[in-house]
Structure 1
Amino acid sequence: MTLTQLEVFSLVAELRGFTSAALRLGISQSAVSHALKGLEQELGVELLRRHQGQVELTDIGAQLLQRARAMLGLADTLRQEAADARGMKRGTLRIGSFGPTSSSKLLPALLARYRLAHPGIQVQIDEGPDRQVLQWLEERRVDVGFVVLPQERFDTVALVEDQMVALLPAGHPLCEQPAIELKALCQDPFILTGAGSGELVSQLFAAQRLVPDIRYRTAQLLSTLATVARGEGVTVVAEQSLPEHPDPGYVSRPLSPRVKRQIGIAVLDRRQVSPATQAFIDLAGRFDYR
């Protein structure tokens, strides 16, 4: 069994295809097939199954994928520790990021400082909803992820705190109030976004046994903002996620009582992180986000 075989297996499973994995690795499709066949023969089990042009993991393949990713992560850590001894001139940092808060507000300045200090480290960024970032951390697909705290099953570092706000069409009667109760938002069509803090918003209503009149479910925050600006509904979003120059078609108001949200970074186990990841954690923890 070789690390190359494990890398091929992991990538084929992630991309669900031999051709796409071959293109990513820069090798031929036959080389990918040969590596997987050799791995399966050595282990004595079928890891992947082709069905109607799709590649699917077998049950044992899904189980062993977690082990393979752990081994690849350890190998990468060993390489980076060696690179650290040489001045950390090489290495890879994989970051999971969610929504405008981390991708647009926090990450750009952090990355600029990090790349200046460690120009030899290759940075890869995957973006998705916050729940997906948690899954990527558990699957070891990313080294560090931006998350909404608390997250008990990870090692975390708190970075910034913001609050949840009600978003109303300009001219809405509730705009006259300095703060908005959740129950007041149940009188209008409600827009629930699947991005960012959509799950947190649902939990807030459920905790007060309130049922908003959900008329729209949007995948992107920009769609949510545009729908509110057109006067088609109200919503609740994180204040940090709002653009620096908001659309005059909507107005934000804090919730009553106020609901705070803390953003941090998380790793699966801080004792096992690579030098490149540790350097990012150290920088993020002391960075001035104002």
Structure 2
Amino acid sequence: MTLTQLEIFSLVAELRGFTLAAHRLGISQSAVSHALKSLEQELGVELLRRHQSQVELSDIGEQLLLRARAMLGLANTLRQEAADARGMKRGTLRIGSFGPTSSIKLLPRILQQYRQAHPGIEVHIDEGPDRQVIQWLEERRIDIGFVVLPEERFDTFALIEDQMVALLPLDHPLAAHETVTLKDLCNYPFVLTEAGSSELVSRLFNAARLSPNIRYRCSQLLSTLDTVGRGDAMTVVAEGSLPFDPDPRYVKRPLSPAVTRQVGLAVLDQRQASPATLAFIQLATRLDYR
């Protein structure tokens, strides 16, 4: 068993295809097939089920994929620790980011200084909803992720704190109030965004034993803001996720009682984090985001 075989297995599982994996790795499809066949023969199990257009993991393949990614992660850490001894001139860093808060307001500032300090580190960024970033961390598909705190299953590092606010159409009856309650919001159509702090919003209503009148669900924050701007519904979002230039079609109002949100970084295990990951954490926690 070789690290190359594990890397090929992991990539084929991620992309669900031999051709895509071969193209990503810059090798022939037959080389990919041969590597996986050899790995399966050595382990004595079927890792992948081949179909006409794609492949899928077997049950044992699902289990061994997590082990393979863990081994690849440790191997990458080993390489980077050696590179660190030479000045960390090479390496990779895989980052998971969610919503405008991290992708637009935090990550660019961190990366600007990170690239200056470590130009040889190749940075890969995957973007998705907050719960997707959590899944990527658990599956070891990323080295570090932006998350809404607290997250007790990971080692975490707080970066910023903002507040949750209600967004209301400009002519909405509640727009005249200085603050609004969750109960107030249950009396009108609500749009729930699947991006950013959707899990936190759901927990807020559940904890208060309230059920918002959800009429719309949007996968992107921009679609949510447009729904509110048209006057179709209201929503609750984190203030830090809002655009720098507010839309005049809606207003934001603090919740009563006030609800804060913390955003930070998370790694699966700080003790096994690579030098490139630790350098990113050190830089990110040192910056002033005000």
TM range (shorter): over 0.9
**What's 2:257 paired with?**
257
CA RMSD of aligned residues (A): 0.7
* Partner deviation per Cα, 1:33-79 (whole Å, 9 max, x = no partner): 01100100111110000134221100111110011001100110111
**What's 2:266 paired with?**
266
**What's 1:47 paired with?**
47
TM-score by length of 1: 0.99
> Aligned runs of 1:223-262 on 2, under 5 Å?
223-262=223-262
* Partner deviation per Cα, 1:232-280 (whole Å, 9 max, x = no partner): 0100001000000011001001100001000010001101111100100
**What's 1:187 paired with?**
187
* Partner deviation per Cα, 1:80-122 (whole Å, 9 max, x = no partner): 0111011000000100100110000100010000000000000
Percent identity, aligned pairs only? 78
Unaligned runs of 5+ in 2: none
* Partner deviation per Cα, 1:12-39 (whole Å, 9 max, x = no partner): 0011111111111111111110110010
Deviates more, 1:50-59 or 1:112-121: 50-59
**SS in structure 1 at match of 2:186:** helix
The offset of 1:206, in angstroms, is 1.2
Q: Which amino acid aligns with 1:212?
A: P
Deviates more, 1:255-264 or 1:195-204: 195-204
**SS in structure 2 at match of 1:282:** helix
**What's 1:285 paired with?**
285
C-alpha distance in structure 1 between counterparts of 2:249 and 2:116, whole Å: 39
Q: Which amino acid aligns with 1:282?
A: Q
> Aligned runs of 1:120-199 on 2, under 5 Å?
120-199=120-199
Q: Which amino acid aligns with 2:54?
A: Q
**What's 2:85 paired with?**
85
The offset of 1:132, in angstroms, is 0.8
Unaligned runs of 5+ in 1: none
Q: Which amino acid aligns with 1:194?
A: E
C-alpha distance in structure 2 between counterparts of 1:205 and 1:281, whole Å: 33
**What's 1:215 paired with?**
215
The offset of 1:2, in angstroms, is 0.7
Q: Which amino acid aligns with 2:262?
A: Q
C-alpha distance in structure 1 between counterparts of 2:273 and 2:288, whole Å: 23
